[in-house]
Amino acid sequence: MADFVTVGTVNDLAPGTMKEVTVEGVPVLLAKIGDKFYATQGRCPHMGGILAKGKLEGAVVTCPRHKSQFALTDGRVIRWMKGSGLVAAIGKTLKSPRGLKTYELKIENGNIQVKIE
């Protein structure tokens, strides 16, 4: 069973911001929404876009590559790719929608800790 790993402090993120950290070799997206922290996989399950380089609106992150959107609260898909037509249809067929993995996170003594399982 994996242990919690300290990835930063609560002061490292302002509300409405996100960044990528590495936990046991795995890219993890950390986000702070209001006073709550979230940890999800750091790469988009569509084509591997770096989510920390995307856009954060409320609790929704938009991938910078093809504009897929995910809820950071539970990892669910909000939108799988943006666009329409043949290219979008092919892209959606080749890579079916998959949500983000979410990771257990806790705050201990002002430190943000994440567990990868």
Element (H, E) at 80: none
89 or 60: which carries more pLDDT confidence? 60
Give every CB contact of residue 83 below 8 A, 6+ residues apart in sequence: 66, 67
CA–CA dist 93, 63 (Å, integer): 18
Structure confidence at residue 91 as a pLDDT band (50, 70, 90): low
> Residue 33 forms beta bridges with which residues?
36
The reported pLDDT for the residue numbered 93 is 63
Among residues 105, 38, 49, 107, the alpha carbon closest in space to that of 75 is found at 38
Residues 100-110 pLDDT 10s: 999 999 999 99
Domains delineated in the chain: 4-115 (2.102.10.10)
For residue 87, the model assigns a pLDDT of 59
